Each structure stands twice: as structure tokens, then as C-alpha cells.
Amino acid sequence: MHLTAVVAHPDDADIFCGGTLAKHADRGDDVTIVYMTRGEYGGFDTTEAEVAATREDEAMAAAETLGAEATFLDFQDGRVTYSLENRLTLVETLRELRPDVVLTHYSDDMHPDHRTTSRLVTDAYYMCSLPLLETDAEPWEPQNVYYFGKPTSSFEPETYIDVTEFHSTKEEAILEHESQVEWLEEHGGIDAEFDGLIEGIRAESRVLGRTRGVEYAEGFVPLHQSADDYLA
């Protein structure tokens, strides 16, 4: 099985679905993280290029911790837009990677990059199997798309993955994003929810786990209903 997570920023995969990615990698599945941007707006007194370079290095280390491969699509942080050109970029990406299952952001999210990434991935999923849509890679049809998100009034998980044995790996991967952990904890304002980042994520995973009688869980909303073998 090949699992691909398409995320807007370098830390998103680890925060939202790091335990699930590590669990699939541990059982021998191919796992890839596709980063739309390098998160160059997520920094303090330095240039966008310097922030991007740091965050790319951190993302590569985090992906290795999870047992995943990593690739970047070179979109601009905070400026991911919806267009046919960008949708076709995602079509080509999915065709090249040929994942069985795709993970991405839930459509209802405060961050515009998250919302746009969700829409691009969903529409690319529908288009990437079309034989008359020509790209360098051959058509491919993933089995399903699973969405992750923050606890909101509209995001209500339907699929739960027990990540109890892999939550420490998830936390290690998050801490690889040293510059971003500092940014999220000191930025304040709209990111104030990330005060005590690891503790907050651990608490959220416990709440989800409690609904399924396990210590830690991650939750997803599937595009199509199907039987679950992890996220197969």
C-alpha cells in the first residue's frame, strides 16, 4: 500500500496525522509527504528564503522520523491559490506517486492555504484517472481521500486510527520543527491555541482515543465510505 499526505506547510503532516503515517510506515507501507509550501511566512526576524531553507531541513528530518519520503511542490506560503494550472500540478503529482490513499486538510479551516489545498487535492483526485487528460505521468485512481482537521463545529471524525504505539514518534517528529514550535508558541494571536503545543496535541489525541477505548487516536473524514484496514 502507498499512503500520501498532501499538506500545506512543513509541520502539518506531523501535527495532524503523524501517528497514522508512522503506523503505516511501521507495517511496511510506502509513505510520502507532499509539502505544498516551505512555510516561509512562519518565522521571526529573518528573510523568507532563510525561513524556507530551515523549514525544509526540519521537514526532511521529521519525515525521516516518521519513516516517510518527502517532496516539495514550490507553492508560496500564504499564497496558495485555486486555479486550473495548480489543480493540474496536483493531478501530475498524484499520477507520479500513485498512492492508494491520500490524506489532506479538511475544507473547513481558518488557514486559507489549508482550505485551498483541500480543494485542489479533492478535485485532482477526481481528475487524475481521466484517460484523455494528458500529463507526463499515466492516469491513476487512488482508492480514497481522508481529511484531517482541527476540532471545529463542522469537522467530526468518522474514521479513527489507534496511534497509541506511535504517539511518541509523532511527538518526536513535531519537535524536529524546532523553529516552528518556537513560532507557534510565541506568535500568539490566531496561533494562541498552540501554546504548549505538544501537551495540546497529546490532550486532543487522548480525547479522540477515549471515544474508541484506546490511549491515543487520530481522526479523519473519508471522502467515500469504505471498510478500514488502517486507512486502506
Predicted local distance difference test score (pLDDT) of residue 232: 53
Query: Could you tell me the CATH number of the domain that includes residue 86?
Result: 3.40.50.10320
> For 49-88, what is each residue's pLDDT tens digit?
888 899 999 999 999 999 999 999 999 998 999 999 999 9
Predicted local distance difference test score (pLDDT) of residue 16: 96
Domains: count for the chain: 1
- Whether residue 109 is contained in a domain is answered as yes
Predicted local distance difference test score (pLDDT) of residue 190: 40
Predicted local distance difference test score (pLDDT) of residue 192: 41
pTM of the model: 0.91
From the centroid of its chain, how far is CA 117? 10
Predicted local distance difference test score (pLDDT) of residue 40: 77
- Whether residue 75 is contained in a domain is answered as yes
DSSP bridge partners of 2? 30
Predicted local distance difference test score (pLDDT) of residue 189: 42
Domain hosting residue 82, numbered range: 2-222
- Whether residue 189 is contained in a domain is answered as yes
- Whether residue 230 is contained in a domain is answered as no
- Whether residue 229 is contained in a domain is answered as no
- Whether residue 227 is contained in a domain is answered as no
Predicted local distance difference test score (pLDDT) of residue 182: 66
- Whether residue 51 is contained in a domain is answered as yes
* pLDDT < 70 positions in the chain: 44-45, 181-195, 227-230, 232
Predicted local distance difference test score (pLDDT) of residue 178: 84
Report the side by side order of strands in the sheet with 144-148.
69-72, 30-35, 2-7, 101-105, 144-148, 217-222, 159-162
- Please choose, from the candidates 162, 154, 165, the residue with its C-alpha nearest in 3D space to the C-alpha of residue 211: 162
Spatial CB neighbours of 227, under 8 Å, sequence gap ≥ 6: none
Q: Which three cell numbers stand for residue 81?
A: 491559490
Spatial CB neighbours of 200, under 8 Å, sequence gap ≥ 6: 193, 194
Count of alpha carbons within 13 angstroms of residue 25, beta-carbon side: 22
